[in-house]
Amino acid sequence: MPTLNINGTDTALDVPDDMPILWALRDVAGLTGTKFGCGVALCGACTVHLDGQPVRSCVTPVSAAAGKKIVTIEAVGQDPVGARVQDAWRQIDVVQCGYCQSGQIMAATALLRATPKPSDADIDNAMSGNICRCGTYGRIRAAIKIAAAK
């Protein structure tokens, strides 16, 4: 039975080592903020942080998280950068339908932790794998710039 550090808490989960982190989080740990989108790591809806790096949890097995820290949308606001990103998202009403937004916020937070003052090219590169069906890309970019300026 693997023990995962999820949002700062060690949690023993009765799951197989090859189960995707997404399903361990959603179905076993009850953390449903991370969304299932495509199931093949192309849309970004399932993005979580694994030791601070954005990963697609739909294709990352539980075994890859052994000894590492998983942070989900439920706890990203505990990080000062994550809190700034969430505040910026609210400030300019980025969300339309909202389905992709947990993955968008996780990717944006990882970007700003690595590159505190990103260029437009940095933003495009970091966010390119996160799909928004509603097309809120302009507001996403603006929110990242607002969070970077704080």
pLDDT, tens digit, for every residue of 93-149? 999 999 999 999 999 999 999 999 999 999 999 999 899 999 999 999 999 999 999
Is the per-residue pLDDT at 1 higher than 80? Answer: no
Cβ–Cβ < 8 Å for 132, 104: yes
CA 52 vs CA 69, 99, 112: distances in Å: 8, 22, 11
Closest CA to 83 of 115, 52, 105, 111: 105
Q: What is the mean pLDDT of residues 33-53?
A: 97
Q: What is the mean pLDDT of residues 57-61?
A: 98
The answer to whether the pTM exceeds 0.85 is yes
Which tokens belong to 90?
């609210």
Dihedrals phi, psi of 119, to nearest 5 degrees = -80, 170
Dihedrals phi, psi of 133, to nearest 5 degrees = -65, -25
